[in-house]
């Protein structure tokens, strides 16, 4: 069912958003992403809600049941007091109650999740998520830095200190600058098809649409596939898994692969169908190529990647095609 979000608090009070943020139920994660993709006007509110959740402080001490009940009683009392104020206009009362409901939902969520230790909202956060159309850079608990492309996420293992491996799971695309530790703990990036194992280095990983690739720009890494095969990489190497999960080394321009970290998209003899898939991945919109002329377009250009409208205008101007927007759908028509 479609919902109306007017404020960040409305998003925080939505159970589907909470399920998406926690990344526990893939069906709900997809449902939330589809909702936001279909309603791009809510993306800003969703980003605000995500930043709020990321900023929640750590509290790993158990919370006793009586404290949870006391907090709930206190919230209910405030809600009752809000409803008993007769001098406020109806619209103001409803707005105030909606805010209290959102605040109550967040407060109870924080209390219960802290009590059960379901989530790690400490300074070493357990997950980072970027919405469509945005890039974000984060420092990890060990001092390593990850830059996340749009529509991407990383989820960290619970232990990043001591002698354990530093592990995380990637969906989307990310560039890593890995810090070495005194004990040379391994840094492992898991994707659906392979693991990237390093101690200190810089590399780019893509895990989208059943396609996985790794570009090494500095240091050395080992690629470990699901069948146990290992591939050593040196700086400048680019590997990609084919449909049979076989690692293939290819010659590429590393600057083209990592251009997204500078908010640029590099198209090099790129068919429009592949460019359309990239736009969908990064901005959450559907792209329709309306005629054969549009499908015949091949892009070779460097274009801005921090604004969808500017990107579409650049494609339209450089390729002589016509681009129209109908809600969440982009329609590209080639010149006849």
Which residues lie closer than 8 Å to 6 by C-beta, 6 or more apart?
none
Q: What is the DSSP letter of 180?
A: P
pTM for this entry: 0.64
pLDDT (tens digit, 9 = 90+) per residue, 311-335? Answer: 999 999 988 899 999 888 999 999 8
Q: 163, 168, 159: which is closest to 195 by C-alpha?
A: 168
Q: Which residues of 70-79 are buried (b: 16+ CB within 10 A; e: fewer)?
A: ebeeebeeeb
pLDDT (tens digit, 9 = 90+) per residue, 88-140? Answer: 443 444 444 444 455 545 444 444 444 333 333 334 468 899 999 999 999 99
Which residues lie closer than 8 Å to 62 by C-beta, 6 or more apart?
115
Q: Could you give the percent of the chain with pLDDT greater than 70?
A: 76
Question: Which structure tokens are listed for 295?
Answer: 């499908």
Which residues lie closer than 8 Å to 219 by C-beta, 6 or more apart?
178, 198, 199, 200, 201, 202, 203, 235
Alpha carbon distance 191, 206 (integer Å): 9
pLDDT (tens digit, 9 = 90+) per residue, 202-236? Answer: 999 999 988 899 999 999 999 998 888 888 999 99
Pairing of strands 152-156, 127-130: antiparallel
pLDDT (tens digit, 9 = 90+) per residue, 36-89? Answer: 888 877 877 887 788 777 665 444 444 444 554 555 556 556 555 544 444 444
């Amino acid at each position: 069912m479609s919902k109306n979000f007017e404020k960040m608090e409305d998003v925080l009070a939505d159970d589907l958003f909470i399920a998406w943020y926690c990344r526990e139920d893939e069906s709900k994660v997809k449902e939330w992403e589809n909702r936001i993709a279909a309603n791009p006007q809510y993306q800003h509110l969703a980003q605000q809600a995500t930043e709020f959740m990321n900023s929640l402080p750590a509290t790993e001490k158990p919370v006793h049941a009586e404290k949870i009940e006391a907090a709930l009683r206190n919230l209910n009392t405030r809600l009752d007091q809000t409803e008993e104020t007769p001098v406020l206009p109806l619209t103001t009362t409803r707005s105030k109650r909606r805010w209290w409901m959102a605040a109550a939902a967040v407060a109870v969520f924080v209390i219960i999740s802290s009590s059960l230790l379901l989530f790690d909202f400490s300074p070493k956060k357990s997950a980072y998520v970027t919405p469509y159309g945005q890039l974000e850079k984060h420092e990890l608990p060990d001092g390593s830095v990850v830059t996340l492309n749009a529509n991407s996420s990383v989820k960290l293992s619970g232990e990043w200190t001591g002698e354990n491996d530093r592990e995380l799971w990637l969906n989307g695309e990310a560039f890593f600058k890995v810090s070495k530790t005194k004990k040379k703990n391994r840094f492992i990036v898991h994707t659906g098809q392979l693991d990237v194992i390093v101690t200190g280095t810089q590399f780019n990983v893509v895990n989208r649409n059943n396609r996985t690739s790794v570009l090494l720009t500095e240091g050395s890494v080992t690629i470990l596939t699901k069948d146990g095969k290992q591939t050593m990489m040196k700086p400048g190497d680019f590997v990609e898994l084919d449909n049979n999960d076989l690692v293939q080394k290819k010659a590429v321009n590393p600057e083209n692969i990592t251009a997204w970290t500078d908010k640029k998209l590099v198209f090099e003899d790129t068919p429009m169908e592949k460019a359309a898939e990239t736009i969908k991945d990064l901005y959450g919109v559907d792209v329709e190529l309306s005629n054969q002329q549009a499908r015949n377009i091949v892009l070779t250009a460097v274009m801005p990647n921090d604004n969808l409208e500017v990107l579409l205008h650049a494609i339209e101007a450089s390729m002589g095609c016509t681009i129209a927007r109908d809600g969440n759908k982009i329609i590209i028509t080639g010149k006849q």
